[in-house]
Structure 1
Amino acid sequence: MGSIHILVVEGNPHLRSLLGWHLQQAGHIVQQSATLHQAKSLFYKRLPDLAIIDSDLPDGDGLELCHYLYQQQQSLILLLSARNSQGDIVKGLKAGADDYLSKPFGMQEFMARVEALIRRLRMTTAPLYLGYGDLTIDLVQRRVQLKGEFIDLTPQEFSLLYVLAQAEGIALSRSELLRRAWPNSIDNPRTIDTHVLSLRKKLEIDPRQPSLIQTVRNVGYRFNPERIQGKHLQPSVAAVAN
């Protein structure tokens, strides 16, 4: 594994710069964000290998971002927090954090925690893409190819497709799709219908008779790649040993 891409989400500008400087000095590629909103935008542009998140951000709770990144299953998470009770630590870990560091902390301890998480990254095998016949889902660049042509998906459409594909043919309810594919809490499950319709227009041979993303009555939707080829297809997963 080459350079580690790290996203630092910290509301305190002085601490954010200090963390970023030390990480860059260690040879890592670092992006910095001061807010929850900006962090989500950066996440859509490039999946970080490691996200370092402050639990108290100016525009929201860092645990929300922590939970969302955990659902994507693409990044390890180090949660920083001034809350150091056992209950707060348990809450952070349950939200998806891989490690929890209480403020104030020393820079040596911070870097030691980061390096421990990076060792975990290097010991795992990270998938690069999912392949279903003529359909390829690139998990690194967050792009989709169908029959060799790139399909222009919005970040949210990609997240929805990825979550459906991960379910491996199991039907997911609208509420489950909202929970796993949306970065913000949304009260209207019909939002899923709108995005599914858009995905079908871009991916289906005949959007009026969808075969790739199927409606399951009284449940929700399921990803069904074998139907687009007219035969059963097992997904191929290309991976790199980190």
Structure 2
Amino acid sequence: MAGVLVIEDDDRIRLSMALALEDEGYVVRGAASAEEGLVAQREDPADTVLVDLMLPGIDGFECIRQLRRGDDVPIVVISARDDTHDIVAALEAGADDYLVKPVAVKELSARLRALRRRGRTVQAMSSLVFGGMEILPEAGEVRIDGEPVAVTRTEFRLLCELAEHPGQVLSRQQLLQRVWEYEIGDERLVDVHVGRLRQKIEQDSKQPRYLVTVRGMGYKLQR
């Protein structure tokens, strides 16, 4: 069974979320602070981590950054804060998804299932070369000029989806459907993850060589 770590300081919300997810078949652990959650994840890693932003002590943004260091565990923010700045900041810190409270358990469970599928091996295809960038789908690796680049599961799936269609423009909605498996979703998820990928694979993220924006249409990966 998949394990979920819920980092939430409100005891009532944390307990109700844990009970609901356990009914969906998950093994759930709770943490009342970022500090407690970071220790729990380090000592006994969960398959997915849910993080609230408004935490005592270390806040949710820093918690995400620390979780993300050397770990590609899927991270979902669940917060009452729905401001665009907060959503983008959380995604840029390293979160894979963002849900605004109150969250329907069925929707959360569907998102968690999609995240788990996203972490599986990308369909078999040979290595793909784009100039100095090499993508190794079966190994789950990206190399720039022969050097490995650390990317998250979601970033890797996004890169592979674009690499499967070299030179073809894919819209944000198409990428949401193919990478996140969301029929309807927030297109900011795509934009922020593209930005994070560019910081890792491009020599100059503001003038990308590989991952190009086609204004009004979407993104493409070019050789």
Q: Give the TM-score normalised by structure 2.
A: 0.52
How many Å separate the matches in 1 of 2:113 and 2:105? 12
Tell me how far 1:124 sits from its aligned partner: 5.9
Residue 75 of structure 2 corresponds to residue 108 of structure 1: no
User: Which structure 1 segments of 5+ residues have no match?
Assistant: 126-165, 169-242
Asked if 2 retains the 8 angstrom alpha-carbon contact of 1:13 and 1:34, the reply is: yes
How many Å separate the matches in 1 of 2:62 and 2:148? 22
Asked if 1 retains the 8 angstrom alpha-carbon contact of 2:7 and 2:51, the reply is: yes
Code of the aligned partner of 1:74: D
Which residue of the partner structure matches residue 83 of structure 1? 81
Three-state SS of the structure 1 residue aligned to 2:25 is coil
Tell me how far 1:107 sits from its aligned partner: 2.4
Code of the aligned partner of 2:7: V
Which residue of the partner structure matches residue 59 of structure 2? 61
Tell me how far 1:110 sits from its aligned partner: 2.1
CA shift in 2, pair 1:167/1:117, >3 Å: closer
Residue 11 of structure 2 corresponds to residue 17 of structure 1: no
How many Å separate the matches in 2 of 1:31 and 1:44? 13
How many Å separate the matches in 2 of 1:124 and 1:55? 31
Which residue of the partner structure matches residue 25 of structure 2? 27
How many Å separate the matches in 1 of 2:55 and 2:49? 14
How many Å separate the matches in 2 of 1:64 and 1:100? 15
Which residue of the partner structure matches residue 186 of structure 1? none
Partner of residue 49 from structure 1, selected from 43, 47, 50: 47
Tell me how far 1:90 sits from its aligned partner: 0.7
Code of the aligned partner of 1:93: L
Which has more strand, going by share of residues? 1
Deviations 1:9-42 (A, max 9, x none): 0111111111111221222221110111211221
- Which has the bigger relative contact order, CA under 8 A and spacing at least 6? 1
Tell me how far 1:66 sits from its aligned partner: 0.6
Asked if 1 retains the 8 angstrom alpha-carbon contact of 2:21 and 2:105, the reply is: no
How many Å separate the matches in 2 of 1:45 and 1:79? 21
CA shift in 2, pair 1:124/1:17, >3 Å: farther
Q: CA-atom RMSD, angstroms?
A: 2.2
Code of the aligned partner of 2:85: G
Q: Give the TM-score normalised by structure 1.
A: 0.48
Asked if 2 retains the 8 angstrom alpha-carbon contact of 1:51 and 1:76, the reply is: yes
Three-state SS of the structure 2 residue aligned to 1:79 is strand
Asked if 2 retains the 8 angstrom alpha-carbon contact of 1:7 and 1:50, the reply is: yes
How many percent identity over aligned positions? 33
Asked if 2 retains the 8 angstrom alpha-carbon contact of 1:7 and 1:32, the reply is: yes
Code of the aligned partner of 1:60: I
The alignment of Structure 1 onto Structure 2 pairs a total of residues equal to 126
How many Å separate the matches in 2 of 1:33 and 1:124? 32
